[in-house]
Structure 1
């Protein structure tokens, strides 16, 4: 799936294409001296019996191309160009041909057309600008900048080139320079979509969301079908905490291009934040339908399914994320948590261990991995893992003493002593879980329940230990105790 920057550049090329094409398209003309009105028979006022038949004028190929492109028939438009124009194409024609090829996704052929256009007329600014945007699409911003500065050297008042240069500066985090360039471009052409979008992006970077929203609104007023103005205004509204308006704008963007998967992803994320989980789930499913190779919607879908208690479906979605992006470490801990709750101890431990590899300051992952291996009956693996990592844990921390508790059966009293002395209530609560879970395995149910209830009552949102404590309590109330 194309990313936003590429698609945005293609949209700008497409708008430019339509404007240029409209200038080239001409209405069918009548041969000089030929009337389309049937002459009257002299002296009778009646239509003559023998009248010259007007010659049928060939259909204007530019008009045909314009109509086909507007209808989304780019392939047919290309064939019209190749059959009717290409043989005697001018520099301007070849520039149009390149834009057609871009619209059809034939980028390398488009570049060749732009270069051929410049070969015929080195002063063709439109071809040079199109070539600059092509290089931007290809990711070669250095070459793009060279072309743009070449345009501006000969035409300092070229607003489109100014705006494109501003985008490069903005991408390089040169916000002040970009703002000045966009301001200059708008002074030259108030109607430049790219300049106003860029200026709005600068305002977003400055967190001036109110003024940014006004800029995007101005674009929408003049070009109501320009999707990216709605997307960026949605971002501005979110900055203003106008979440309803933000969702409305994303819905409008989807209506303009129902096949652009990122809009469903963005609306789904917004709906999650608004607590509209089922609506968000529908958006993520649609994003997956449109682009099944993008791992992001699977990750968000898994999170929702997890929140809804649909554990098996959540695990399946997390596994799909790993299939598409195995190093997406943000899901290691959530997946490890769900596998713990399915008694899949060894695999759960491996994911907590992986989570620690990506976050060396989260020592709870070490404890969770060691606990999982132990709960699965693999004391050797648990011992080897904890022994290896114990030296990396600060000795003055509770993590260290709880790790020793998991390693050494006789370390209970010391661990309990250090936990009782801990002033951080959240830390104390979390560490009690590891004692309780170990006591479940040792069948010391009464003591385990006491600690689990305390952890459950004092846990905070997002605390893995609190969630697992709640699960452990539910398991203890079931006919058989899992994990013993």
Structure 2
């Protein structure tokens, strides 16, 4: 690129004919030299205000730098001067898509495809319009054609991956991203898209982790990758790593409340009870219907020796529950820490397996707090192989560490 620019400059910019000056301006644009490119395009327009390609390239340049007013003016002039060039019509159509003017976009793109049915950018843009109107199969057909015409056109493959995803053709969606990554190995979003597919539809944790680590390598502050990495390590019970990633998530976005409960859980595991109290309290504010979050606040207070505060909170939780229910009897045991007879009796009768096993954890936590170690270990052993709930992770970590 720089060599080509230097060649033009060596020949003398002032003596360039219009065609050469247009090429020179495009090279400058592609090299990111926007101001210099604009100067050359304006010279072309001064020489010939009917030069539609100069106006079109000026519109592209202003679009790149975010000057929407001048961009819109330039593309309208280009269209008025020549509505037979597919690149001009296609760009006008894509601008309409950005503004959600679907009917207008379709008009310009249809005109472009009538002129050149094999113009891949117009095919891809039209596919997007069809997809937005729910015509997914037609969108896929258009993208298949675009990819066949130009296998290296990345945008068509990315869009085809998304359409296949919507059509539940998950393997095809992944295969397109495989090729996209081969073509553009340094674009972080391709890896992120593939990681989502691998996680959600194939449970391919190893593959997803490799993709997410590539995103982190390319951009260590990619928030979405950090969220996925935190969750992935958490789910795989690599709790120390999960904790570090959740800290990075919350550092970027303190308001990201989905991280509050995991941080409370992980800080409890680490024995940082003042921190677990804080995070569980923040989680409880966001989800006041879930009494287990308040219960973990009380448990944290109890571990910190703030017994009166813990007991007061236990009582507050009990007031929201129906007397005699399993959760009531378990939390009453947590509050009184005397006989566990009624709690165990109701647990043994509980038919909701998930509720029963989760509540067993709190029995174990109290046993541990009052130094009934053998009973605590028995509870934790009972739960540690279960997955999918906070309490099961806490039981596992109590035995295995972080």
Name the TM-score, length of structure 2 as normaliser.
Answer: 0.78
- State the Cα distance separating 1:140 from its structure 2 match: 4.6
**Unmatched segments (≥5 aa) in structure 1:** 1-73
Paired residue for 1:229? Answer: 156
For 1:426 and 1:231, locate their aligned partners in 2 and report how far apart those are by CA, in whole Å: 41
Kindly indicate whether the alpha-carbon contact (under 8 Å) linking 1:170 and 1:178 is maintained by their aligned counterparts in 2.
yes
Kindly indicate whether the alpha-carbon contact (under 8 Å) linking 1:402 and 1:431 is maintained by their aligned counterparts in 2.
no
- State the Cα distance separating 1:181 from its structure 2 match: 3.8
Matched ranges for 1:85-164 at <5 A = 85-141=12-68, 143-164=70-91
Paired residue for 2:247? Answer: 319
For 1:133 and 1:106, locate their aligned partners in 2 and report how far apart those are by CA, in whole Å: 13
Aligned length: 394
Q: Deviations over 1:127-147 (max 9, x none)?
A: 222222233333454543333
For 1:402 and 1:111, locate their aligned partners in 2 and report how far apart those are by CA, in whole Å: 76
Which of 393, 396, 402 matches 1:467?
393
Which of 292, 299, 306 matches 2:227?
299
Paired residue for 1:310? Answer: 238
Paired residue for 1:264? Answer: 191
- State the Cα distance separating 1:455 from its structure 2 match: 7.4
Does residue 247 (structure 1) correspond to residue 168 (structure 2)? The answer is no
Q: Deviations over 1:427-474 (max 9, x none)?
A: 6765665465345424466876788788779x8x643234334545x3
- For the aligned residues, what is the CA RMSD? 4.2
Q: 1:161 to 1:435 in 2, by over 3 A?
A: farther
For 2:80 and 2:268, locate their aligned partners in 1 and report how far apart those are by CA, in whole Å: 65
Paired residue for 1:350? Answer: 278
Kindly indicate whether the alpha-carbon contact (under 8 Å) linking 1:402 and 1:434 is maintained by their aligned counterparts in 2.
no
More moved, 341-350 vs 220-229: 341-350
Kindly indicate whether the alpha-carbon contact (under 8 Å) linking 2:120 and 2:149 is maintained by their aligned counterparts in 1.
no
Higher helix share: 2
- State the Cα distance separating 1:112 from its structure 2 match: 4.1
**Unmatched segments (≥5 aa) in structure 2:** none
Does residue 183 (structure 1) correspond to residue 113 (structure 2)? The answer is no
Q: 1:312 to 1:455 in 2, by over 3 A?
A: closer
Q: Deviations over 1:92-126 (max 9, x none)?
A: 44443332233223344434443343333322222
Does residue 275 (structure 1) correspond to residue 275 (structure 2)? The answer is no
- State the Cα distance separating 1:217 from its structure 2 match: 1.9
Q: 1:356 to 1:82 in 2, by over 3 A?
A: farther
